[in-house]
Chain A
Amino acid sequence: MIEINNLKKSFGETEVLKGVSTVFEQGKTNLIIGQSGSGKTVFLKCILGLHQASEGEISYNQNPLSQMTEKERSLLRQDMGMVFQGSALFDSMTVEENVMFPMKMFTEAAADEIRERANIAIKRVNLIDANAKLPSEISGGMQKRVAIARAIIMNPNYLFCDEPNSGLDPKTAILIDNLIQEITQEYQITTVINSHDMNSVMEIGEKIIFLKDGEKKWEGSNKEIFKTDNEAVTNFVYSSELFKKVRKVYLEESE
């Protein structure tokens, strides 16, 4: 579980986050949604510790990040997995080497054991015959799977995904969404996903927080988002005719 209390972040004079508070629960896919420039990425980077928060507190399982020593932070990082928007695979390494990397860096396990664990993770994300390929030789969807495999090889308690569907076709995007949700439930991970893909919101948003201009404007689940009257949320989520109709049908059916 990750608790965020009154998180503020400024860059010079510009206040990007204006006191965001929320709780990301274990075993759930938690989504952060909002328009470009709403502060989603800064929020995620603050949670990850890549940006120092200007004010407020972030706690991992009741342990405040600000009170952790450098060693404790280092150990916490090994308990985190991250899937970046562009996958961020190491382009000089093969798929298998990419997945093996965190274990090679942080464990004393034997090479055979590391390879075995990597192959379990690769199999878990349904990648076939890709071990010896370089990231440049595989598709965007496969790269995302490799990134997920690399993120879960250390059996992390926290999984962060920055727009995991960006640049993927709708079918692959749904497969990646479902894979992340399955892994979250299977390993009981606290998953935080930064997204503006409405399909993801509807499909896997067990907990959703909506950011606008650096403030949390709404919080709820994918069921609740259909019923909300919050104007900021409806303007963002139901901006397309298609989603307006989906909402209408959903509300009619639920009545």
Chain B
Amino acid sequence: MIKLLEHIGRYFIMLQKTFGKFTKSSVLRKLVVREIDDLIIGSLGIVAFISFFVGGVVAIQTAINSDNPLLPKYLVGYATRQSIILEFAPTFISIIMAGKVGSFITSSIGTMRVTEQIDALEVMGVNTYNYLIFPKIAAMTLYPFIIVISMFLGIFGGYVACITGGFSAHADFVEGLQLDFNAFHVTYAFIKTFLFAMLLATIPSYHGYFMKGGALGVGKASTTSFVWTSVAIILMNSFVTNFLLT
């Protein structure tokens, strides 16, 4: 328990130092652009692929499990929209990103620690927290755009699966999509997406920055980082849902 509190304390001190002495703006700008490329653009492919096919599976499962004639035909479209906007796109994709983006962040910072690159920056007088972590936080502010794409492709995947598989008619599916639309659900999804983005940028950075050991330590830190980022996302999801939707 004391160890956990020590980690939490060190994590918040790290955040404070990240927003301390800023790196020269011309250097920082380039770092942010590079992180956007690595963390955001580099994740689009896997997010698009997973969203499209999982969206399709969600729609098919809903259709198969709701074949009671008393249930309205628009239910498939409605259930697909709700599950993708409320949970699949923000939460499920964030857990996947904890593996993809999180392990990339931990291993890249961890490797810099092992190869003394962080020490080299410190000797030069660079605020290594700001230099290494701030660009990742800045890049991850664009993470909601990934989730927008995920939402769109998830619903589109559901639509394609239903139409091509004969599980629902076009008009029924579209009716379900438009039924009882509550714009606050989208707001809620983006609030939690933004919070997840901050967790995705900072928890893996913490594990990379404070890792110990050699190459094996980098692998171990990446695994630990994935576990703790996932735990933090699930807890945050539970907290935000309780706070905003109940």
Is B116 an interface position by the 8 A CB rule? yes
Is B122 an interface position by the 8 A CB rule? yes
CB-CB < 8 A to A82: which residues of B?
119-120, 123-124
Is B224 an interface position by the 8 A CB rule? no
CB-CB < 8 A to A243: which residues of B?
none
Is A238 an interface position by the 8 A CB rule? no
Interface residues of B in 90-146 (CB under 8 A from A): 111, 115-117, 119-120, 122-126
CB-CB < 8 A to B223: which residues of A?
none
Is B43 an interface position by the 8 A CB rule? no
* Complex Cα–Cα for A90 and B111 (A): 11
CB-CB < 8 A to B83: which residues of A?
none
Is A59 an interface position by the 8 A CB rule? no
B23, A86: Cβ atoms under 8 Å? Answer: no
* Complex Cα–Cα for A124 and B201 (A): 41
Is A230 an interface position by the 8 A CB rule? no
CB-CB < 8 A to A50: which residues of B?
119, 122-123
Is B27 an interface position by the 8 A CB rule? yes
Of A73, A88, A90, A91, which contacts B119 at CB under 8 A? A88
* Complex Cα–Cα for A78 and B122 (A): 10
Q: Known contacts being A104-B27, A105-B23, A105-B24, is A80 close to B115, with CB within 8 Å? A: no
Is A106 an interface position by the 8 A CB rule? yes
Min CB distance, A206 to chain B, in Å?
23
B116, A78: Cβ atoms under 8 Å? Answer: no
* Complex Cα–Cα for A73 and B23 (A): 16
Interface residues of A in 82-110 (CB under 8 A from B): 82, 84-86, 88-91, 101-102, 104-106
CB-CB < 8 A to A102: which residues of B?
124
Number of A-B contacts (CB under 8 A): 49
* Complex Cα–Cα for A194 and B15 (A): 34
Interface residues of B in 166-204 (CB under 8 A from A): none
B125, A91: Cβ atoms under 8 Å? Answer: no
Q: Known contacts being A104-B27, A105-B23, A105-B24, is A48 close to B123, with CB within 8 Å? A: yes
Min CB distance, B208 to chain A, in Å?
15
Main secondary structure of the interface of A (DSSP, over half): mixed
The number of chain B residues with a CB under 8 A from chain A is 15
Is A77 an interface position by the 8 A CB rule? yes
A111 and chain B: residue at smallest CB distance:
B26
Give per-residue flags for A173-198: 1 if the beta carbon is below 8 A from chain B beta carbons, else 0.
00000000000000000000000000
Is A74 an interface position by the 8 A CB rule? yes
CB-CB < 8 A to B123: which residues of A?
48, 50, 77, 80, 82, 160
B116 and chain A: residue at smallest CB distance:
A88
B120, A88: Cβ atoms under 8 Å? Answer: yes
B27, A84: Cβ atoms under 8 Å? Answer: no
Interface residues of A in 59-81 (CB under 8 A from B): 73-75, 77-78, 80
Give per-residue flags for A190-231: 1 if the beta carbon is below 8 A from chain B beta carbons, else 0.
000000000000000000000000000000000000000000
CB-CB < 8 A to B115: which residues of A?
86, 88, 91
Of A86, A88, A105, which contacts B27 at CB under 8 A? A105
B26 and chain A: residue at smallest CB distance:
A104
* Complex Cα–Cα for A91 and B112 (A): 9
Of B23, B116, B125, which contacts A77 at CB under 8 A? B125
A162 and chain B: residue at smallest CB distance:
B116
CB-CB < 8 A to A86: which residues of B?
115-116
* Additional A-B contact list (4), CB under 8 Å, known A50-B119, A86-B115, A104-B24: A50-B122, A74-B125, A84-B116, A160-B123
Q: List 20 A-B contacts (CB under 8 A).
A: A50-B119, A50-B122, A74-B125, A77-B123, A77-B124, A80-B123, A82-B123, A84-B119, A86-B116, A88-B117, A88-B120, A90-B117, A90-B120, A91-B117, A102-B124, A104-B24, A105-B23, A105-B124, A106-B125, A160-B123
Report, nearest first, the 5 A-B pairs whose CB atoms are least far apart.
A77-B125, A88-B120, A88-B116, A82-B123, A84-B116
